[in-house]
């Protein structure tokens, strides 16, 4: 017997190129039966890799693939409008694009480096979620998977970090940018509850992605942090994607403004 998908609507994922959390999330949507997906990333070649992987496994997917910079307001508006034109609406929006930067204390950090990190991680995330909210407000809600629950007009998941909750050495701009995402998520959740829109964020711990394991030097930099978490390992992108899909789905119908920590226990230690 064929089962109905939890994702009958349209998914949008930023930072979806390559082998990181965004790519895993886009693939997870396709695997979960989402038939309409829009993906974007700054890196055109790695974005195409994700598109190829989705289309080879799920050729029936209607996929919008558009590279660009989510820190650029004009691009964000045009990407979202294009996705809406092609796919009709936005139901599950995952704002995942982000950069690490840092490795310096505040006194060694330039204002340019601070601005670059915040432009992508905080302002870029806000630009995307603002565009998604504008569309969600205009569209009719979709029914829940459970007829006893409220329909859902849209669900946004911003990708913050455990470092939005706890500090780490030599990352003031990154930690601040992710704390800002958590604060923005809560404020939007309050404002749009009455419209049937949920806004949550995930706070991943250390995850094996190009951001953390692209070089031996990078692995070394993060090794002490891996040891702090009770589970003493890095997470897999798919483990974060699963938590994102849960928050997007109507199974999370009463979860609002939450910062879901998925970190192998790092922040409890």
Binding residue for ligand NAD, selected from 30, 38, 42, 142, defined by CB under 6 A:
42
Stretch that binds ligand NAD, among 84-92, 138-146, 183-191, 203-211 (CB under 6 A): 203-211
Shortest gap between Cβ of 42 and ligand NAD (angstroms)?
4
Reference 134, options 186, 179, 93; nearest CA is 93
178 is catalytic: yes
The angle at the Cα of 255, spanning 132 to 183, to the nearest 5 degrees, equals 60
Name which position in 5, 43, 218, 251 contacts ligand NAD (CB under 6 A): 43
Tell me which residues in 1-30 interact with ligand NAD (CB under 6 A). 15, 17-18, 20-22
Can you tell me the distance from the alpha carbon of 266 to that of 264, in angstroms, rounded to the nearest whole number?
6
Which residues 210-269 are close enough to bind ligand NAD by CB under 6 A? 210-212
145 vs 221, which CB is nearer to ligand NAD? 221
Report whether 130 contacts 144 (CB < 8 A). no
> What one-character DSSP code corresponds to residue 32?
T
Q: What angle do CA 92, 153, 192 make, to 5 degrees?
A: 95
Which of these is catalytic: 27, 92, 122, 178?
178
DSSP 119: I
Rounded CA separation 59/129 (Å) = 28
Interaction between residue 39 and ligand NAD (CB under 6 A): no
What does R_g of the chain's alpha carbons equal in angstroms? 18
Least separation in angstroms between CB 169 and ligand NAD? 16
Among 101, 102, 204, 264, binds ligand NAD (CB under 6 A): 204
The token duo for 58 is 């799920």
Question: ∠ CA 15-20-25 to the nearest 5 degrees?
Answer: 70
With CB under 6 A as the contact rule, which of the stretches 135-143, 182-190, 201-209, 244-252 interacts with ligand NAD?
Answer: 201-209
Minimum CB separation of residue 269 from ligand NAD in Å reads 16
| C-beta closer to ligand NAD: residue 176 or 204 | 204
First to last CA, the chain: 45
Residues in region 101-130 near ligand NAD by CB under 6 A: 120, 124
144 lies in the binding site for ligand NAD (CB under 6 A): no
Dist. CA 263–CA 260, nearest whole Å: 9
- For the CB of residue 195, give the shortest distance to ligand NAD in the complex, in Å: 26
Residues 6+ apart with CB under 8 A from 185: 156, 158, 160, 199, 200, 201, 257, 259
* 84 in contact with ligand NAD (CB under 6 A): no
In the set 92, 122, 174, 266, the catalytic residue is: 174
Q: Give contact residues for ligand NAD (rule: CB under 6 A).
A: 15, 17-18, 20-22, 41-43, 46, 69-71, 96-99, 120, 124, 159, 161, 204, 206-207, 209-212
Provide the annotated active-site residues. 174, 178
């Amino acid at each position: 017997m064929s089962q109905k998908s939890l994702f009958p609507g349209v998914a949008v994922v930023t930072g979806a190129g390559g082998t990181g959390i965004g790519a895993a999330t886009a693939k997870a949507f396709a695997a979960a039966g989402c038939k309409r997906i829009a993906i974007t990333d700054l890196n055109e070649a790695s974005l195409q890799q994700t598109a190829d992987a989705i289309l080879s496994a799920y050729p029936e997917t209607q996929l919008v693939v558009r590279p660009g910079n989510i820190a650029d307001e004009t691009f964000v508006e045009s990407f979202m409008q294009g996705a809406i034109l092609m796919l009709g609406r936005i139901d599950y929006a995952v704002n995942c694009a982000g950069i690490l930067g840092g490795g310096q204390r505040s006194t060694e950090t330039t204002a340019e480096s601070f601005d670059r990190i915040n432009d992508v991680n905080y302002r870029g995330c806000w630009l995307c979620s603002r565009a998604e909210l504008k569309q969600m407000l205009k569209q009719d809600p979709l029914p829940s998977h459970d007829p006893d629950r409220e329909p859902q007009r849209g669900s946004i998941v911003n990708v913050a970090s455990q470092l939005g909750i706890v500090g780490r050495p030599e990352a003031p701009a990154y930690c601040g940018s992710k704390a800002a995402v958590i604060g923005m998520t809560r404020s939007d959740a309050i404002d749009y509850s009455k419209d049937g829109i949920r806004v949550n964020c995930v706070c991943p711990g250390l995850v094996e992605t190009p951001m953390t394991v692209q070089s031996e030097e990078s692995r070394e930099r993060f090794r002490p942090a891996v040891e702090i978490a009770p589970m003493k390992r890095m997470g897999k992108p798919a483990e974060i994607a699963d938590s994102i899909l849960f928050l997007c789905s109507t199974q999370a119908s009463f979860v609002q403004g939450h910062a879901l920590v998925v970190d192998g226990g790092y922040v409890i230690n």
